[in-house]
Amino acid sequence: MEHILKVENLVKRYAKQHFAGTPQGFLALDGVSFTVSAGTTLAVVGESGSGKSTLGSCIACLETPTAGNLWFEGRNLAHAAEADLRKIRPQIQLIFPDPASALNPRWSILDIAVEPLLLQGKLRRKDRNMRACSLLERVGLSADMAERPAAELSGGQRQRLAIARALTLEPKILILDEALSALDCSVQAQIANLLLELQNRLGMTFLFITHDLTMAAHLADEIAVMSHGQIVEQGSSSRIMRSPAHGATQQLLSAVPQLPHAPRPAANR
Amino acid sequence: MASVLEIQNLHVSYFSREVRSRPVLSGVSFDLMPGEILGVLGESGAGKSTLATSVLRLLPSNGHIANGAVLFEGKNLLQIHPEGLRQIRGARIALIFQEPSLALHPTIRVGEQVRQVLAAHQSSKDNDLKERTREVFIQLFSQDTDRIMRSYPHQLSGGQRQRALIAQAIACNPSVVIADEPTAALDPVTQLEIIDVFRSLRKKLGLAMIFITHNPALLSGFADRILILYAGQVVECGPADTVLRSPKHPYTSALFESLPALSGGNEKKSKDKLPVIPGNSLASSLPRKGCSFEPRCSLHMDVCRELEPALVKLGAAHIVSCFKYKE
């Protein structure tokens, strides 16, 4: 299968900040390499501070990597000019961890879903609204709610709206940065099903950033485990869950809380 | 054994501009035994945090306790004089909030923040307070105690901040700690670490705990009893093992089924859809009469639409509110 995204030796160093921070800065990504095939899901797991979110923002072109290459459809995003990035960003969308703070609560649902199209200046007003409404329906929000403010939505509905907004520009890659972590488990299941359905229908590529290994294994084809800015282990979800090789993976796996009836796989088999 | 905290028929509602009063808790009753860990499980909006704050009368100004009693050491905390309540808050009953980065003051060293809690409740000399602060920190941080006491919250990791909050909570040797989603912001490794901290504190200090969470798996092997809240009502309560292994209320079992199993590489099973509970538990979609879970329940009967189920006793300590069960 064709690789839609190829990351080569990506490095991101945050400069020393005024008085806090270490003198040489903070190395958030320390030589990360991987590829993602089109239409599949790669889950990036790791403990907090391992560089998962930095990786997401680098791929979404929100951060400029310090070194390394980021190939997307034959173009190297790491060295692209800002004017080019502006054309690429719509194709790689990022969904933020907390839907409550990612959406302006006073804006109407429609305004939020339409905004990306407005910024891109692509369609006429009527077409914009139609596109947004059909996406709202697709993620399970009814179009007659469109005029209501986002503040009236529940957590799950907000996350659906965030997904609809990300989809308006028809991205090829959707980066989900802890997109399910803030939700209740019954709502998590609803959104997880929605993601699987979208992938089946639109053939989208997902980068699923999370610290929830169970959900990662459920949604992803492949799992990459990060620790201290490096990918320490990568493989198919079933292989990682069955026989984790690296200590960091084993530690993550053994810390997963579980209900008593589910058999816990031995961490070091 | 006498309970350390008893909550009887608690009714709490919030006022807002559109709705005169919106009930958030309707008739919640339970008791907490000394040294017991009670897990409170529910979705957002079920009234978990309201339960935590109304015990100490810390509700926001639009919150109103309509009815009920909170009995602690022979006193009803809902009627006690504010001065009496002040001596209980933080000293006898401590509350740990969700977000450790918001609950700590950003520009005061964490050691000082714990010392201030002690100073507010104990009139001892400066040196004694410092000594006691150090003792509390040693219980939670085996290494680097002095550096951590001198640190500001932003210099600490999420897990260390959560420990500092726990230090504040246990500083005055409370008999009850109420923890509202204390691990929600942490990764699984740190989460497990904090659960272990709570476990060892219970053993060392004999704390009774109300542990509020939305993650059922977290309570397995940790809580002694589990109470399940749905739309402000207790739908099930029983010994943790029984509830987790064989949940009785349709809501409880549907909730457990919606969790993806750590299948350990069953390739066919992953990428399947998860069983979901249709609909939501927003106040606007709750039925006017009958069982509040009826519209989302796969096992609903005619009677559920008409009458509200009462709590039925299944075992010695297992209660459930559903018409499927009879005493």
Tens of pLDDT, residues B189-206 = 888 989 999 999 999 999
Residues B276, A193: C-beta atoms closer than 8 Å = yes
pLDDT at B271: 66
Closest CA to B281 of B65, B10, B24, B19: B24
Contact A238 B186 (CB under 8 A): no
Q: B66-98 burial string, b = 16+ CB within 10 Å, else e?
A: eebebbbeeeebbebeeeebeebbbbbbbbbbb
Q: How sure is the predictor about B263, in pLDDT bands with cuts at 50, 70 and 90?
A: low
Contact B259 A264 (CB under 8 A): no
State the pairing for strand pair B63-72/B5-14.
antiparallel
Task: Look at residue A105 and tell me whether its pLDDT is greater than 70.
Answer: yes
CA-wise closest residue to B178 among B53, B9, B66, B326:
B53
Which of B187, B261, B276 comes nearest A211 by C-beta? Answer: B187
User: DSSP label at A11?
Assistant: E
Asked if residue B146 lies in contact with residue B107, where contact means CB atoms within 8 angstroms, the answer is no
Residue A229: which of A96, A88, A66 has the closest Cα?
A66
- Chain segment A124-146, per-residue pLDDT in tens: 889 999 989 988 888 888 878 88
Q: Output the CA–CA distances (angstroms, integers) from residue B152 to B102, B104, B242, in the order listed.
A: 13, 9, 43
Tell me which residue of A196, A257, A178 sits closest to B194, measured CA to CA.
A257
The phi, psi pair for B28, rounded to 5°, reads -90, 125
Residue A24 pLDDT exceeds 80: no
Radius of gyration of chain A (CA): 19
Name, of A209-213, B99-103, B189-193, B222-226, the range with top average pLDDT.
Answer: B222-226
Q: Which residue from B44, B158, B189 is facing A252, i.e. has the nearest CB? A: B189
Nearest by CB: A186 against B190, B218, B277:
B277
Under 8 Å CB pairs connecting chains A and B tally to: 127
CB A160 within 8 A of CB A141: yes
Of B43, B264, B280, the CB nearest to A241: B264
Predicted complex ipTM = 0.81
One-letter amino acid at A139 equals V
Residues in B touching A252 (Cβ below 8 Å): 188-189
On the CB side of B150, CA atoms within 13 Å amount to 4
Element containing residue A29 per DSSP (H, E): strand A26-37
Report chain A residues whose CB lies below 8 A from the CB of B190.
Answer: 47-48
**Facing residues of B67 across strands?**
B11
**Chain A environment of B157 (Cβ under 8 Å):** 48-49
Best of A98, A218, A249 to substitute, by most chain B Cβ atoms within 10 angstroms, is A218
Q: Is A9 exposed, middle or buried (0-12, 13-18, 19+ CB in 10 A)?
A: middle
**pLDDT above 90: percentage of residues in chain A:** 44
Q: Where are the domains of chain A?
A: 3-254
pLDDT the model gives residue A269: 32
Gap from B219 CA to chain A (nearest CA, Å): 8
Q: A263 CA to chain B: closest CA distance, Å?
A: 8
> Which pLDDT does position A16 carry in this prediction?
63
Q: Which residues of B touch A241 (CB under 8 A)?
A: 262-265
Phi, psi angles (nearest 5°) of residue A230? -125, 155
Where do we find the tokens 């992938």?
A: A199
Residue B269 is predicted with a pLDDT of 47
- Minimal CA separation from B45 to chain A, in Å: 9
Structure tokens at B59: 């509700």
Mean pLDDT across B144-173: 91
Rg of chain B on CA atoms, in Å: 21
CB within 8 Å: B267 and A239: no
Residue showing tokens 């070194």: A67
Classify each residue of B253-291 as buried b or exposed e, where b means 16 or more C-beta atoms within 10 Å of its C-beta: ebbbbbbbbbbbbeeeebbeebebbeebbeeeebeeebb
pLDDT single digits (tens) B75-115? 999 999 999 999 999 999 999 987 777 889 999 999 999 99
Q: Residues B269, B263: contact at Cβ < 8 Å?
A: yes
Return the DSSP state at B65.
E
Q: How many helices (H) and strands (E) does chain B have?
A: 12, 12
Do A192 and B266 make contact, defined as CB atoms within 8 angstroms? no
Residue A268 has pLDDT above 60, yes or no: no
Which two three-digit tokens encode residue B50? 């309201």
pLDDT at residue A263, rounded to an integer: 42
CA distances from B238 to A117, A209, A236 (A): 52, 36, 40
Of A185, A211, A265, the CB nearest to B262: A265
Architecture of domain A3-254: 3-Layer(aba) Sandwich (3.40)
Which of A184, A193, A262 has its CB closest to that of B261?
A262
Q: Which residue of A has its CA nearest to B184?
A: A182
Q: What's the pLDDT score for residue A266? A: 37
Task: Write the DSSP symbol of residue A226.
Answer: E
- Cross-chain Cβ contact A48/B215 below 8 Å: no
pLDDT in tens, B60-69: 888 899 999 9
Rounded-to-10 torsion of CA A206, A212, A218, A224: 60
Place of tokens 């009920």: B68
State mean pLDDT over A161-183: 90
Task: Please indicate whether, in this complex, the C-beta atoms of A239 and B241 are within 8 angstroms of each other.
Answer: no
Mean per-residue pLDDT, B138-156: 91
Cβ-proximal residues to A152 (8 Å cutoff; 6+ apart), any chain? none
Per-residue model confidence as pLDDT tens digits over A50-93: 889 999 999 999 989 999 999 998 889 998 898 989 889 999 99
- How far apart are the CA of B43 and the nearest CA of chain A, in angstroms? 6
Q: Which residue of A41, A178, A186, A209 to mutate against B (max B Cβ within 10 Å)?
A: A186
Strand partners, B71: B6, B76
Calculate mean pLDDT across residues A15-31: 71
**From the centroid of its chain, how far is CA B310?**
23
Give the tokens for residue B65.
Answer: 């306790």
Q: Output the pLDDT for position A265.
A: 40
List the single residue in A47, A48, A257 with the smallest CB-CB distance to B217: A257
- The answer to whether residue B262 scores a pLDDT higher than 90 is no
pLDDT given at position B146: 92
Please, are residues B54 and B65 in contact by the beta-carbon 8 Å criterion?
yes
Tallying the residues shown for chain A, one arrives at 269
